[in-house]
Amino acid sequence: MISNDFCIGVDFGTDSVRSIIVDAHSGTELSSAVYVYPRWADGLYCDPAQNQFRQHPRDYIEGLEQTIKKCLLQAGPTVQSNIMAISVDTTGSTPVAVDESGTPLALLPAFENNPNAMFVLWKDHTAVAEALEINQHARTLRPDFTAYSGGIYSSEWFWSKLLHVLREDPQVRNACYTWVEHCDWVPFLLTGGRSADHLRRGVCAAGHKGLWAAEHGGFPPDSFFSSLDPLLKGYAAGMQKTLYTSDQAAGTLSEEWAQRLGLSARVVVGIGAIDAHMGAVGGEIEPYHLSKVIGTSTCDMLVAPGNEVGGTLVRGICGQVQGSIIPGMIGMEAGQSAFGDAYAWFKNLLTWPLQHLLAKAESLDAGQARMLMQTLSDQVLSELSRQAGQIVPDEQSEVAIDWLNGRRTPDANQLLKAAVSGLSLASDAPRIFRALVESTCFGARKISDRFVAEGIPVKGLIGVGGIAKKSPFVMQMLADVMGMPIRIHHSEQTCALGAAMFAATAAGIYPQVEEAMAAMGKGFDLEYKPDPQRQALYDQRFKKYEALCAFAETQTLEP
């Protein structure tokens, strides 16, 4: 039976935005649409050699409007007239400089092509030096304001990126009124916000990326930042004192956006959150289970009752925040800066000759060359996985480190580089690929081990995201390396589904998000169990991985 209550979940990913319309009582997905960011796809405003990755707000706005409209068209007029709420998740930390009206500077003519006026994507590591300064500064003070951020502040996060942009660009510095996370800005946009002072910031991004902690009374005082660098003076003081959990409403659709989308202005807009946090909810996270959102990177989410966590602080993770994932529980986040990105890098490495030589082949016209290139490129990873799965490794097989985009956790350090050891003339592509996959699984084990070592048990694993659904080879190795089963969630869109669950809660359909999860959750359709023999081998190889990591760290230079 189809109900009369429907919600929209919007998931802003690294490469695209996806919207879905969901029955708020059964969780049935009625329609979906995807929009690939055109400017991002063209590589605009990015410089990988400098670890600079920026995204234009117009990509977000166009994608938001087009995907929701397509969903509504697919679902039909009855559904369209019964949309109750919209909630969004985004990558993070992905902040932007805005003016006093809350408008991102890149939407102003003077800044429309300035990367520093755009959203600084999560994977942008241009602020490594600034992160180091924040950490050194925090060590000299009491209390240590990084304590609830794992004790190490990252270049991927809010304040590092702000300080870097302020130092690098005087024009942006002079025009910037405040600094806003992507997941906080989209609800502000949809509700017709006209003043940055009235923008509702969420606990999720502020706690995990912005040094906000209820235990410290909110954000660190302005003196903490101004004594670090006078350029930061006034930013913390200007932040709103009241923050919101994602089960609360940011407001309702503005008349402008109601007309643009063909919806009622009574539609509730929920408080936004980081994608992995809503993905964990969409993937039906359970206390003390690591919910692994596995894509280009990973985010590992864990929730636990506050009265059981007590004063335990887990070192080297991406924060632990009251109410950040599930209101009423402590949310803890960890992750890896490269997971699928490591495999994509290797695929691009292998297909480089095809990309550069096929176009010059006299026996092929341009269309044939493109088609052949696309066909071969699409098959590379599946064939590598098939052949790598047939290799029986031993203690002498190639060993790799997964730090191709630095290390997120445990103990963030974006200066670290990847490596492969044990190469010989017998090291072919499947063997190196197998070592890369193993390294990403070993990186996942380091995270689990850190939680356990710090007194937080890990009772199970939940896999969500594209790789979890599509790569049995990777998931079986992950189960073997971790030594515990991993359940794969049924939904392919757990982030958008989680957003829809929060939308239903913000609209009052459910009193708390746990009830939305129970009603709208789709369950698990696959489980990978560890092979005891392989587990024993990986225990030995994990020691070699740790030794290689320790050596690689000694070769890392300070910025």
Domain 340-490+529-554 classification at class level: alpha beta
Nearest to 26 by CA among 517, 526, 524: 517
Ranges in the chain annotated CATH 3.30.420.40:
6-283+492-521, 340-490+529-554
pLDDT in tens, 291-301: 999 988 999 99
Rounded CA separation 222/228 (Å): 10
Residue 557 has a pLDDT of 66
Number of Cβ atoms within 10 Å of the Cβ of 83: 27
Query: Cβ contacts of residue 168 below 8 Å, gap of 6+?
Result: 116
Query: Cβ contacts of residue 547 below 8 Å, gap of 6+?
Result: none
Rounded CA separation 548/344 (Å): 23
pTM summary value: 0.92
Divide the 559 residues of the chain into consecutive groups of 10 and give the mean pLDDT of each group: 85 96 96 98 95 97 98 97 98 97 98 98 95 95 93 95 98 98 98 97 97 94 97 95 97 98 98 96 97 92 95 94 95 95 94 82 76 84 96 91 94 93 96 98 98 96 93 97 97 95 98 97 95 94 97 80
Rounded CA separation 222/425 (Å): 58
CB-based contact 311:419 (threshold 8 Å): no
- Topology (CATH) of 6-283+492-521: Nucleotidyltransferase; domain 5 (3.30.420)
pLDDT in tens, 514-550: 999 999 998 999 999 999 999 999 999 999 999 999 9
Count CA within 13 A, CB hemisphere, residue 214.
14
